[in-house]
Structure 1
Amino acid sequence: MPRIATPDLATLPAASAPILDAVNKSLGVIPNLYRVAGLSPAVLQGMTGLGGALGKSLDVKTRERIALVTAQVNGCDYCLSAHSYLATNLAKLSAEEIAAARIGKSADARANAAVAFAKAVAEARGQVSDADLAAVRLAGFSDAQILEIVAVVVENFFTNFVNNVARTEIDFPVVAAAA
């Protein structure tokens, strides 16, 4: 049961309206996460601004793999559900790749390095080992790309935490975090 109710669009602060309009134009719908975040225009702007900036760096498959492993680490059922849907329908990842991403793995060597590093960042709260950093570099990721992986993990921590605190009503096919 939600701890912060999903608001009707008409009840949200006026400053959230243009941001939510942009979300609707981009996605064709306004997911409950954005409605809840819209209670605070500052939170909504921060969330969409970071997501928009990072949407131009790493490819969508990599971003979705990172979102999946981060949601799994944080036990966020809303984000696991949303990103399983997006991984299938937007990133075109197979069910096997989605399951692997949730545990920080991929059949693709480069993708495996990225998602394993993202898992290490999430689990260690950024205190990764020298070996973790060496492995992602060995896979061909530049320092800029490594920082982008970290930023995508942080972006997903933000949405995971919002959804875990709010217990946002899931408006995607439901996927539960593994114990």
Structure 2
Amino acid sequence: MTRSHPTTLLTILLTHVTLLAAGCTSLPTDEAADASPAIETEATRRPTRTQSPTSPRDEAKTIAAIDEDGAIFFPSAVTLVNDAGKEKLQRHAARIKEAPGIIVTLTGHTDDQGSRNYNLAIAEQRTLAVERLLRSYGVPARQIRRYSAGSEKVPKACRSAECRAKMRRVDLDYSTE
């Protein structure tokens, strides 16, 4: 076994530290990475936050289209179901258990705040929290499906705090086998 000279080890260590420091000074933020993708296609193009203003009527239509009884709502950055959501899920669980042929698909949504990856992750955590509660209320796993839409399906007409609050939800959609 050969022994390295201390100066050589120190030089290598300093080189690595310098390269690490140089690389860390310009790490892109999510917004910077989203703002200038290497290859932009229709599928990767992300709407900017400075889109044309929408009318309050458009937002009202968006909010009205949400099935309040079939949705569990969440505050911003929260993945735990509140007491009102738990009560609603108990009613849904009873309905699902009465009809073994029913499948419920849990679709997690978020508002348009945060990066795409963050929104997908929080939507998935919310759908998982809802699934766990349904399972704890006796719903068989075979009757539950999960899907996380994140912020991909946030309507362009949703720009107010009230509308964004309605986007942070898990929808329960029913179908039959």
State the structure with more CA Rg.
2
TM-score tier after normalising by the smaller chain length: under 0.3
Query: TM-score scaled by structure 1?
Result: 0.27
